Chain A
Amino acid sequence: MKRLLSVLIVLVVFAGFASAQNITVSGTVTDSNGETLPGVNILIEGTSTGAITNMEGFYTLETGPEATLVFSFIGMTTVKEPVNGRTVIDVTLSDDSHELEDIMVVAYGTTTKEAYTGAAEVVDNEIIENRPVTSFEKALQGTTAGLLVSSSSGQPGTSATVRIRGIGSLSAGSSPLYVIDGVPMANALTDINPNDIESITVLKDAAAASLYGSRAANGVIIITTKNGRAGETRISFNAQVGVASRISDGYSLMNSSEFYQHSWQGLYNTALLDGKTTAEAKIYAHENVESIVGFNPFGVDDPLDNDGILKPGTKVVTDTNWRDEVYKTGIIQNYNLNVSGGNDATKVYFSLGYFNDNGTTLSSDFTRYTTKVNVSHKVNSFITAGMNNHLAYSVTNAPPGGTQGANPVRSAEIINAASPVYNNDGSYNWENTAVFDFNPVGLAELDLYEYKGKRAMTNAYINFDILPSLKFRTTGAIDYGSDKGVNYYNPYHGNGAGVNGRSSMSNTENLAWNISNILTWTRTKNESNIEVLAGQEAHGESYSVLSAGVTDFSIAGYPDLSWGAKPETPGSYTSEWNMISYLSQVKYNYGGRYYLSGSLRGDGSSRFGKNNKYGLFYSLGASWRLTEESWMPQVKWLNNLKLRGSYGTSGNNNLGNYASLGLYGSGANYGGFPGLSPVQQENRDLSWEKISSLDIAIESRFFNRLDANVDYYIKESDGLLFSKPLSAGTGFGSILTNLGAMKNTGFEATVSYEAIKRTNFQYTVGFNISTNKNTILSLTTDKIVSGTKLIEEGESIYQFYMIEWAGVNPDNGKPMWFVNAESDDDESSDIPDSAYDDPLETGRKVTSDYTDAERVRLGTSLPDYFGGLTNNFAYKNFDLNFYFYFSVGGRVYNNDYASNMHDGTQPGTNLSTDALNAWTPDNRYTDVPRYVTNSTDQGGQLSSRYLEEASFLRLKNISLGYNLPENLYSKLKLQGLRVFVSGENMLTFSKFKGFDPEGALNGTTSNSIPGVKVVTMGLKLDL
């Protein structure tokens, strides 16, 4: 309708042009803040005559009374004003960027929010910039509904786990596909400087993501990096320094006196159980306590009295807080310089970045250098060409994790406080009874775990505007990553002692290439608009590793392989995959009210089995903007109402490169002869996981202040890849099969309210919440028990399955578990002989014989719902933003806590102070079993004793900024100056016993470096 009108106007203008007499028009052009704009270009439409505003924003020109004036200025929206006989025309130009916000970067192109038929959310750079995180996805936590972000380690330089709309796969990857500047990424996210990012689009449903076909199952995250803008060149410099510390103190550990006395008690109890008399038992405990603890931390030989209690006044010589030794205050530094500018033909953005996080744990740190150059150039009227380049170099020091002896985090928890860090002569003490010869402080100095990464991402494109309605874009991209790792164990202590030092080096190279050719055709006729996209894409990745190692070093501290006398077997391999795709999409819009979209993509992949080489994926989407309907009453309180729905399919191709083949692997050498051994069974039918998703949503805006969007989705995965456990008789533990089906359903709601909108004071509050229910629909095997989990139909993928803790028997201090004879863990429901009535009066049967209790289902590790609450205040030149992240529901099996509550099975290993509450005849009602050195009570076995609730609320980020007023910064010859302070993870509210309730999605802890809280100060200069 509008178009028709403007055509009419133009016609009228042309018609009147010859006949009308000229008049003089004048006026002032201002921006939206009321400031006058000098240099605004004013043209009489259809001619080349016009004027330019002066320093005060004033203009004057002669024109016909029916002419139309076109006001344009770089960075501002162009305004057309019909003269209509007026002689004074004042015009306000608004910022162009406003319009840009509505343009969303989506799969293979852009769209506007109004026209989009899919579920996608845009996160702009304000959220990402200047956060003390190595990788941008960590900054996304809590910002977008449906996006679950969880960090399981505080190791600097690691990425977080990201899931869009639940976990779509049992064992194939569930990570989204990351696409940067239109090209799928193949290497680490941490190589990207978050400050180079312009915006991030999260594609959630089929209409949004299906165009990525066999890689779209887990959603897509599209990263758009910054580009130059025509106009004055802008130089800006960011500097930021932060102080990081452990996110919380965790549960407390015993000091040396407590541990010494407790160990005495354990020995005493053991002796009593062995049938010794009280007197004998005391002697036994006195004799052995020092060897169990490893050290006598006191100044005297006989520190304990007859009852194992520390004699008053005994001097404590050693009381090591191993956490204090292993953890330190980290410093984070982040500096960025970027330059952006250009003209109508050529636009350039380049940046330099330096990021350094020296870690909160000994020998863990991360340093990254990045550069970026984005250029686009208009060659002629129909060709535009450009390049996006990104280079990164990073150095990471990351000590080993998990249960390895050299894991400093684990050492800090389990070496008892009676063990000194240093001997009297100042040398490291390597003795301890938990991780003998692995003093974490000494190893941090002597060993090396260093990884150096180089990364080059480059893509070049050419756009041909063949016809005004027909465009063609061809893109070629390379993503190359090369990493070098060194693990060096010193010759004297720890891992290297037995072989007189060991150094292992590996070089990995990952090369991904991508070529795409996309043709788009658009046509507008009357009220309808159609856009057709057709294209082709080819993608390939090749990963290769070269590794070598040596042992037997003559000198310590030199990790290069040349120093070692004895070479170890070197290794190398290459792993590749390829994909060829054809894709097409049609978008149709009628009158700005009805929108339809459809997409189709075919993928052929080398990863799929012989019988399933090609997959076809499609989507359909529609939306309806009710508020644009003419019959809709125009009410003040309703500004926008849009209904939207989509359905489509996608695939998950993360099945490994050669998973369908029956293979014999090399390297099974024996006796000096080369050998081969079967490594994998053949599965010719192996195929991608098929995902279908349905999305229904309402988008609305009320009172011009309140935005509210609600989405409901059902995402069904079929043919889930799973390593089906096999009987040992096959010779394989499992085979990868398309085994099951799973469903994720959930609601997502986002509300944003512009509570205060005054010139000097704005306040916006936002809230988002997501629910997700994960249900396994079918499996070819009834039940799959894996570790702490049971996978079965009708339940969540991360359903805990273990024996149920019943507490401690007050009569003898033995652990008790509920028998749960009716559980289907064992077919029979016979009550075992060892069962007895729960003395704690639950009315249930318990047993103190671990093997007689049956496993039961104990909930899931996944949260029931999670989300964020954001608050943005702006007052004059100040701004204050803070947001909370919450995660409710979900449980964690706390392995770490379990190892500090061992009841005497690991007699030299440190204990939580909670263990002081162990059962004794005088402390009968407790949840901690009796402490018996080398206990066989099995109290530490896998059970719900260590299963905890993991809900938490966290003040994720709070930042306060101040923009210097113009009169101040212009005196400094600057274009702008901003100073800010911010705090990351400042407060956490949780009942969880460990350092951090946020962790691995499967809900188990593994002595990872705890998360960090960071306080940073920074400034941003615009030159």
Chain B
Amino acid sequence: MKNMTLKYIKISLAAVVLFTITSCSNDYLNLDPSTSIPEEQVFSSFESANSALIGAYDQLSGYTFDGLFVPILSDIMGEDVMINSVDNWNWFVAVYQLNVLPNYVFAESPWWLGYKVIADANKIIDNAPAIPDATEEQKNQLLGGAKALRAYVMLKLVEMYAPAYSRNPEALSIMLVNKTLTANDESLPRAPLSAVYEQIEKDLISAINLLEDNDDKGFLDKRGAQAVLARAYLNTEQWEKARNMAVDAYTGLDLVSGTELLSGFNYRNSETIFTIAYTPEDNNTYLSIPSFYYPVSGYSSMRANNNFVDLFSTSDIRGYSFVLEPQIDPNRYLIVKFSHNQLVGNAERISIRASEMYLIEAECEANLNNYAEAQDALYTIQKRANPIARKSTSTGQALIDEILLERRKELFGEGFRWNDIKRTQGRFTREGDHWVKFDIGPEDEDYYRLTFPIPQSELDANSNISESDQNTGY
């Protein structure tokens, strides 16, 4: 009897232990991560949705997009500057050689990061109107900001991955992603250039209406949207519209003085319209513009072409951007235009400034045969750098050529040269101390090299873009 009781005690003890731990709440199997939040939560308040817009700008500033790759590639693919072949860890060498293949990081990364920004912006555009606690003003701010950003990135992508609009407006360009695409949606084909430019224009006009001017030039505001639209119109040779937008964009801004042009281009100034706002905590150290351009404390592997340097008159203050320092490089000109701000790579990257808008104005007026206005705008830029400069008296193509040359002098290193050659269908000529030389015109087969290939990974993953849709030449 006693034995039996003991047995029962033992069995019930075991049963209790067995089942005490088995009851578990629903939370036990539904865990949330500690450093990310569900999408629904992001668009439940203005504050978090606004953080998503900031996050999209963070993507934009990534070194494989607007932080470094996009601007530096644009100049390396030109004639005015060059990358060293040695002591450079092979960065951008293939770009300099105009020898980019579809699987190269220089073709892959800007594409992927560019579309990441577009996707981030699309989410905001899709969700902003329904944020419960946002005022109309706040919704406008989000919508306008996201649209301006989307257009800004699309413009960069068409410039890289599609031939010039002036050559063929219906050429295949990029995927026109204007709403959120999920993994289950069918992937998009390459849209014609005209459709993408139409979207860019639509977005920017909408952004101009929605946005106000903002003191923080780290974000695209109304003025920023106008400036981007001026660029888009310039690419599509809508001279009048481009001029109007350019003038709107610079009106009210003071150009910096000539000497300020030598202050290192590492922080926003009075003529800045949009800047990639790196902070010391967020700087990209070695993968930054000054790391490559400035002669010390970084890769320091950018050099200026001797023929280009020779174009500057001795009284042109911008000529001081070039130095010869045999200890660093016995043969080639070093460039001091972009400097570090105390820490290596700590530099904002000024992306749009009023000077460019003056030059757009000049170019448009010249193309509209308004030579006097064109000469005035051009002179504004020339005399600032060179007090003894004389106002141009040229007209026609000669004036346009002068303006394009001034763009080179004023904007070198800021990411314009390559697109300028392309959009004007100009001749690409590398001479002097370049270590890879070219002399090709739009009629030459090799001109295809001025357009990046669609990345291999996109061809592999996209069911609507195949090898046969690849850009000519690749």
Contact = CB atoms under 8 A, between A and B. Distances in A.
A405 B119 CA distance: 34
B100 to A, nearest CB: 11
Contact of B123 (A466, A574, A678, A735): A678
B32 interface: yes
Contacts of A472: 14, 17-18
A727 B464 CA distance: 10
Contacts of B39: 662-664, 678, 682
Nearest to B41: A664
Interface string B35-51: 11111011000001001
A604 B29 contact: yes
B343 interface: yes
Interface of B: 7, 10-11, 13-14, 17-19, 21-22, 24, 28-39, 41-42, 48, 51-59, 61, 85-87, 89-90, 93, 97, 99, 101-103, 111-112, 114-116, 118-120, 122-123, 175, 177, 181-183, 185, 187-188, 216, 218-219, 277, 279-282, 285-286, 291, 297-298, 330, 343-345, 435-436, 455-458, 460-462, 465-468, 474
B29 A605 contact: yes
Interface string A263-276: 00000000000000
Contact of B7 (A466, A667, A781): A466
Contact of A737 (B13, B183, B330, B456): B183
A232 interface: no
B281 A569 contact: yes
Contact of B279 (A499, A605, A672): A672
**Considering the complex of A and B, which 6 residue pairs feature the smallest CB-CB distances, nearest first?**
A731-B119, A671-B277, A668-B55, A675-B55, A675-B54, A677-B55
A568 B281 contact: yes
Given A464-B14, A727-B175, A730-B183, A663 B281 contact: no
B183 A732 contact: yes
Contact of A576 (B31, B120, B456): B31
A467 interface: yes
B31 A606 contact: yes
A830 to B, nearest CB: 10
A674 interface: yes
A724 interface: yes
Contact of B461 (A464, A606, A726): A726
A291 B59 CA distance: 39
Given A665-B36, A934-B85, 15 more contacts: A464-B13, A498-B291, A580-B28, A604-B29, A667-B35, A669-B282, A672-B282, A674-B51, A675-B54, A679-B36, A681-B182, A681-B183, A729-B175, A732-B183, A827-B468
Nearest to B278: A671
Contacts of A664: 36-39, 41-42, 52, 55
A382 to B, nearest CB: 7
Nearest to A665: B36
Nearest to B18: A517
A728 B285 contact: no
A631 interface: no
Contacts of B29: 578, 580, 604-606, 613
Contacts of A665: 35-36
Contacts of A566: 280, 343
B14 A499 contact: no
Given A580-B22, A664-B39, A671-B57, A606 B28 contact: yes
B89 to A, nearest CB: 8
Contacts of A669: 54, 58, 281-282
Interface in A514-543: 515, 517, 519, 535-536, 538
Interface in A574-590: 574-578, 580, 582
A551 B286 CA distance: 14
Contacts of B343: 499, 551, 566
Contact of A908 (B86, B102, B120, B181): B86
A661 interface: yes
11 contacts: A536-B22, A551-B343, A575-B34, A657-B31, A663-B36, A670-B277, A675-B53, A677-B55, A725-B460, A826-B467, A934-B97
A935 to B, nearest CB: 10
B37 A676 contact: yes
A696 B467 CA distance: 47
Contacts of A681: 182-183
Contacts of A606: 28-31
A676 B86 contact: no
Given A580-B24, A673-B54, A519 B18 contact: yes
A378 to B, nearest CB: 16
A678 B117 CA distance: 10
A726 B52 CA distance: 22
Nearest to A614: B29
Nearest to A729: B177
Given A466-B7, A730-B183, A934-B435, A519 B14 contact: yes
A509 B93 CA distance: 43
A1006 interface: no
Nearest to B51: A676
B277 A672 contact: yes
Nearest to B19: A536
Q: Which of A292, A498, A573 has the most CB of B within 10 A?
A: A498
A728 B115 contact: yes
A663 B14 CA distance: 43
Given A464-B14, A578-B31, A675-B52, A661 B38 contact: yes
Interface string A717-745: 00000001111111111010100000000
Contact of A670 (B61, B188, B298): B61
Nearest to B53: A675
Nearest to B217: A671
B284 to A, nearest CB: 11
A735 B122 CA distance: 18
A729 B57 contact: no
B120 to A, nearest CB: 6
A574 B34 contact: yes
Contact of A827 (B7, B18, B28, B467): B467
